[in-house]
Amino acid sequence: MDTIANTWLWCGFVAFVLLALSLDLRGVKKHEDEVVSFSQACWWSLLWVTLALVFCGALWWWLDDSAGRQVANLKASEFLTGYLVEKSLSVDNLFVFLMIFTAFRVPPVLQREAIVIGVIGAILLRVIMILVGVWLIARFHWILYIFGVFLLITGIKMLVFSDEPPDLEANPVLKWMRRHLHVTNDYRGMRLWLVENGKRIYTPLFLVVVLVGVTDVIFAVDSIPAIFAITTDPFIVLTSNVFAILGLRALYFLLAGAAARFSLLKYGLGLVLAFIGAKMLLADLFKVPVGWSLGVVLGLLLISILASLWLSTKPPPRGV
């Protein structure tokens, strides 16, 4: 499948991701006994978003010089649209993380390790699924229509059932672990398991990490078709996904205390997925310009966020 990236661009991006992950892991290890404050989460979130925008600007500059202004504008718009969609879906992912941590009463200090594992797992899953997706689309173009139907149905389901919280106790993976594993009643620091009397015993943190991994799989299934509806360039697909994921740890602690204030965001995400699915299904009849897609996605998310904030500050109605 055609891509605008050369070998040096791929190598540079991989090196950046490995460096970013190592610095993030070092920061977690160095401050493992500290709780991430709201101001720290704000600054780190701002840093990751800034890095994504700097990357987009650098990509545009390189393409403008090597491939022309038209290609540079197109690929930069594809990256921004993909990044925005994937970042928005990752926010929904984080709300599920929050539900898991709340259900298992995970101490804030331990949440950091679970989030880091979730980020690494999400990146690995995205890479695998993107490679599979590229291979499938290159050989079976009609699979894009299946992606479109899947996104349209997912968006409608999100709109219809957005007020129904997931039933964690009904999760088959959690049921299996509780039936087959010996689990301690309390946390043992950051240990996932330990051996007592020659028997391996798992901690609640192990269950949390597994559920976070399962959540990564579920959201990867949603997000990969969404990005392929915007671009089929493997480099843009991968970079927009990874940049959206890298800031998840900081974004989680930024949103953890304000989850209730974004009650309408799911509706915005549902409309975004339905729009992208419809766009993919109608691609052979009418190709929606990337700039239009960026405007629609940004508009829907902005409206849902502003409406959520307005609703959260609106005083409750007085009783009769």
Q: Is the pLDDT of residue 219 over 60?
A: yes
Q: Is the pLDDT of residue 9 over 60?
A: yes
* Predicted pLDDT at 82: 87
Domain ranges, ordered by start, for the chain: 38-311
Q: What is the DSSP letter of 183?
A: B
Q: What mean pLDDT do residues 160-188 have?
A: 77
Q: Is the pLDDT of residue 289 over 60?
A: yes
Nearest to 87 by CA among 215, 270, 243: 243
Helix (H) or strand (E) holding 16: helix 7-30
* Predicted pLDDT at 207: 87
Q: Is the pLDDT of residue 91 over 80?
A: no
Contact criterion met (CB below 8 Å) for 79 and 59: yes
Q: For a pLDDT cut of 70, what percent of the chain falls above it? A: 85
Q: Is the pLDDT of residue 172 over 80?
A: yes
* Predicted pLDDT at 320: 43
Q: What is the DSSP letter of 196?
A: E
Q: Record the pTM.
A: 0.76
Contact criterion met (CB below 8 Å) for 28 and 111: no
* Predicted pLDDT at 60: 93
Which residue would you say has higher pLDDT here, 318 or 146?
146
Q: What does the alpha-carbon distance between residue 33 and residue 213 come to, in Å, rounded to a whole number? A: 23
**Which among 133-137, 204-208, 220-224 has the top mean pLDDT?**
204-208
Q: What does the alpha-carbon distance between residue 256 and residue 25 come to, in Å, rounded to a whole number? A: 20
Number of other CB atoms surrounding residue 225 within 10 Å: 24
110: CB partners within 8 A, 6+ apart: 187, 189, 190, 205
Q: What is the DSSP letter of 247?
A: T
Q: What does the alpha-carbon distance between residue 119 and residue 121 come to, in Å, rounded to a whole number? A: 5
Q: Is the pLDDT of residue 103 over 90?
A: no
Per-residue model confidence as pLDDT tens digits over 21-60:
777 667 655 555 556 676 777 888 888 889 899 999 999 9
Contact criterion met (CB below 8 Å) for 273 and 148: no
Nearest to 4 by CA among 47, 66, 97, 57: 66
